[in-house]
Structure 1
């Protein structure tokens, strides 16, 4: 199964962003991909604006649906604001389109990013975003996608649950901070692949938005043994790679750690001992 991971430098001009997405998706189709994965905040990246909270049949999402249909691509739209019950806050939603342009799965980001750097205002996604409360896997040919978004990467229990539910490919579309990215991005992505014996597809944003937030870039594709098989730097890119389901099965036959979880033990509080007796 050939897939494309798309790295973008989206900004506040939605028209320009959509043009860049279309160009990337056409490249993905030309390289033979049957699935393309876009990063978080692909359609719009900037300060929260209720005007850009879009219905699933809205014009921007509709354009991407049309591209999926015209290019015969399955498409993962990594993160877009969709309406919640709170007029002042939206969901950060990952939408999956089939080859007919229909939305067949949706995941609402569960973990909301917050970073408190000394002497700077907090980056607090919860100020304008409502957290979701469920997890999602979706079948695509010979693989099953486990959906997540950016900051979710720091919570391994989420991915274990996705793998236990059948996920063989973890998608991690991101607008990952350039402050934490050099230390954490690749290390966490490789850990999620190794822990769950899954491929990981991690498309990322690059550059600064109008708020001054700077994204790390360095989109990655990682195999189920933790090996980086494709990577980008800090420029727009389309990474085309082949995923082999037999590799997943072989690795899981070699190392059966997914079968060795002990939830009965983990659910109990740890016994606390005193080193001094």
Structure 2
């Protein structure tokens, strides 16, 4: 693609209500588009970041009624840009299961939803510093991977904790993804030690661009997220990186021909072999 693809990652500190969340992210999206970005990506939990279940249940709604989802769809159409809502916390729609979906939504330049992905791997961990998370208590995990066509190449979808499961990224790359999105709300302790290493590893393994917009800072529910939104090239090189956890715009230009070059140099995606499992 002549001149490359101008993208922007939006780093946010999403408030705990949808009206405040939209007021927080909309000016950043507008600024990114004014700066020339044609593809804009927001983090996990763009519409609400609230882990206290009673408060979150009070604000979570259906995808087609969510104020942030509707507002960002209108904004994409107004600005003529593609937009990935890194994730919106919305009702899953599964009868008999009151848990929400943690859902990525890919929006085209007409404001239409062209792909959905519900987070496959939910964050159930006990960190060494005493922090405890049980995402499975409030989020119903998805059951399908997702790769979508864009004007610039295929995009693989993932969310946050998914980054620790390399087989998903290999599948996305073998399904044709030249870019893989990793919108996140990484905890500060794990982000400090693991975030960049995991992002670079997934890019190297797949020969794809890894686009990782992140939440950052101290949130209303008491959690602290790492920030440091990052763009990694298909050779594993850092193309752009925020060095803080404050709301910001991270711009980058992607040379889509770099994907084919990286995969030709190290054609690991074609070298799978069957093997006997270890006993």
Normalised by the length of structure 1, the TM-score is 0.93
- 1:53 paired residue number: 60
CA distance in 1, matches of 2:24, 2:208: 29
Task: Report the 3-state secondary structure (helix = DSSP H, G, I; strand = E; otherwise coil) of the residue aligned with 2:136.
Answer: helix
CA distance in 2, matches of 1:269, 1:145: 31
Tell me, which stretches of 5 or more residues in structure 1 are unaligned?
Answer: 273-277
CA distance in 1, matches of 2:232, 2:29: 21
CA distance in 2, matches of 1:256, 1:149: 26
Following TM superposition, by how much is the alpha carbon of 1:15 offset from its aligned partner in structure 2, in angstroms?
A: 2.0
CA distance in 2, matches of 1:118, 1:195: 28
Confirm or deny: 8 A CA contact 2:17 2:59 kept in the other structure: no
The answer on 1:19 being equivalent to 2:29 is no
| 1:182-201 equivalence runs, <5 A | 182-201=192-211
Confirm or deny: 8 A CA contact 1:144 1:166 kept in the other structure: yes
Task: Report the 3-state secondary structure (helix = DSSP H, G, I; strand = E; otherwise coil) of the residue aligned with 1:129.
Answer: coil
Following TM superposition, by how much is the alpha carbon of 1:25 offset from its aligned partner in structure 2, in angstroms?
A: 0.8
The 1:119/1:254 distance shift into structure 2, 3 A limit, reads: closer
- 1:275 paired residue number: none
CA distance in 1, matches of 2:231, 2:130: 33
CA distance in 1, matches of 2:203, 2:83: 21
The 1:254/1:130 distance shift into structure 2, 3 A limit, reads: same
- 1:160 paired residue number: 170
Q: Indicate which of 99, 119, 126 corresponds to 1:109.
A: 119
| 1:42-81 equivalence runs, <5 A | 42-46=46-50, 47-48=52-53, 49-58=56-65, 59-81=67-89
Confirm or deny: 8 A CA contact 2:48 2:89 kept in the other structure: no
Task: Report the 3-state secondary structure (helix = DSSP H, G, I; strand = E; otherwise coil) of the residue aligned with 1:251.
Answer: helix
Following TM superposition, by how much is the alpha carbon of 1:206 offset from its aligned partner in structure 2, in angstroms?
A: 0.7
CA RMSD of aligned residues (A): 1.5
Q: What does the per-residue CA deviation read over 1:97-128, in whole Å, with 9 as the maximum and x for residues that have no partner?
A: 11111111000000000221368462110010
- 2:268 paired residue number: 257
Q: What does the per-residue CA deviation read over 1:189-214, in whole Å, with 9 as the maximum and x for residues that have no partner?
A: 00000000010100000112233211
Q: Indicate which of 35, 38, 41 corresponds to 1:34.
A: 38
| 1:120-269 equivalence runs, <5 A | 120=130, 122-232=132-242, 233-262=244-273, 264-265=274-275, 268-269=276-277
Figure out how many residues of one structure are paired with residues of the other and give that number.
268
CA distance in 1, matches of 2:152, 2:83: 16
The 1:118/1:4 distance shift into structure 2, 3 A limit, reads: closer
Larger radius of gyration: 1
CA distance in 2, matches of 1:76, 1:118: 33
Following TM superposition, by how much is the alpha carbon of 1:167 offset from its aligned partner in structure 2, in angstroms?
A: 0.4
CA distance in 1, matches of 2:272, 2:59: 42
CA distance in 2, matches of 1:251, 1:121: 39
Task: Report the 3-state secondary structure (helix = DSSP H, G, I; strand = E; otherwise coil) of the residue aligned with 1:110.
Answer: coil
